[in-house]
Amino acid sequence: MSCGRFFFLCDSIMSVKHLSVDYDKVNEGGSFSPGDILSGRVTVVTTKETKVQSFLVRAKGKAEVAWCEQQGQSTVAHSDKKKYFYFEHIILQDKNKGDGSEIISSGRNVYPFTFVIPDTDMPSSYEGKWGKIVYSLRAHLTQSVWLVHKTKTEFPFLTKSEFPFASKSEMIIIGLKEQQCVSRVSFFGFEKVTMNVTSEKMGVKQGEAIGVTVEVRNNSARLVIPKFYLVEKQTFAARSKRTVHTNELLFGEGESVPAQTSQTMTKVLSIPPHLSPTFFNCCMMKLEHRLKVCLDAPLLRDPEVKLPLVILLGSPKPQRQKPKRSIWFRKLPA
């Protein structure tokens, strides 16, 4: 590269001091839903008049999954993507195929934009172990084939579906308010431990509490202690392949049950308000929950039971906007 071109590029880079994209909130929680109007502005600050080839802002909603598996001596990668919507608003575009004829004035320049989010069923924003559902705004300012400025910000999105896990099963919706019961009998040699677990309902909102009753009949020679867990199951699919990731959150312990005694106890469990709700309305990932109660005892394997649990969307909380990415430039070829 000649010295003249190098100094021209450096001068062009330095002329753009700031590039950002912002949006206007439509509610106190700061989230968007299908059918909402997404308005905002792109701000660019330059030290002098700057020629550009194109300047645009894009709105995008997408889901993507990616993970690797070991198959023998080889590592196999699996990935997939789904686009929910894609819109582009051209702020400036030269008319002569890249001659840089459009001009941005020196100083602070603000360009408004408006998009209408499609009024269709789309999953809420989510980030799991091997996949994520992201809704974002991106601004691109192109000065030349060698020089592109970019910035991005994500905005929180909430589905309109009250039950994004049961669109085809009315029985699941009816069962959300009903009690859930399960029993487990464990034998250790000639000894026996019986555990009955009952939750007051299957559906509970973020931030709410649920009562769980445990009856333990301990006919063994060991002391046992009930422990309560919330199990999160993330399932990811890429074409015909699937993988699962689970997390366990310890809620706490119940009262100890000595040998040769019986005891009934009720534990009130509070669902964390930040916990992602259960969902099935994404073709590449789903999120399920279970309530697990196990008996902590000096055994080879702790007896446990699991109850279905559906986490429902609670009252939306004001969400912090994720930091914007700094503008960056394409590297020059070696």
196-241 pLDDT, tens digit per residue, is 999 998 889 999 999 999 999 998 888 889 999 999 999 999 988 9
Q: 57-107: per-residue pLDDT in tens?
A: 999 999 999 999 988 888 999 999 999 999 999 998 876 655 566 889 999
Q: 263-276: per-residue pLDDT in tens?
A: 999 999 999 999 99
Q: 36-65: per-residue pLDDT in tens?
A: 999 999 999 999 998 888 899 999 999 999
The 3-state DSSP class for residue 327 equals: coil
- pLDDT for residue 152 is more than 90: yes
CA-to-CA distance for 137 and 150, rounded, in angstroms? 11
Yes or no: say if 297 and 190 are a contact pair by the CB < 8 Å rule.
no
CA-to-CA distance for 212 and 269, rounded, in angstroms? 7
DSSP state of 136: E
- Which backbone phi and psi does 208 adopt, to 5 degrees? -85, 175
pLDDT band for position 175 (cuts 50, 70, 90): low
The fold for domain 3-154 equals Immunoglobulin-like (2.60.40)
CA-to-CA distance for 254 and 219, rounded, in angstroms? 18
Tokens of 41: 């502005």
Domain range 170-312, its CATH number among 2.40.30.70, 2.60.40.640, 2.120.10.70, 1.10.760.10:
2.60.40.640
Residue 266 confidence (pLDDT): 93
Alpha helical stretches, state H, 17-124: none
Domain ranges of the chain: 3-154, 170-312
Place of tokens 């660019």: 44
* Helix (H) / strand (E) containing 213: strand 209-218
Q: Is the pTM of this model over 0.85?
A: no
The 3-state DSSP class for residue 275 equals: coil
CA-to-CA distance for 263 and 261, rounded, in angstroms? 7
Intrachain domains 3-154 and 170-312 with the same fold: yes
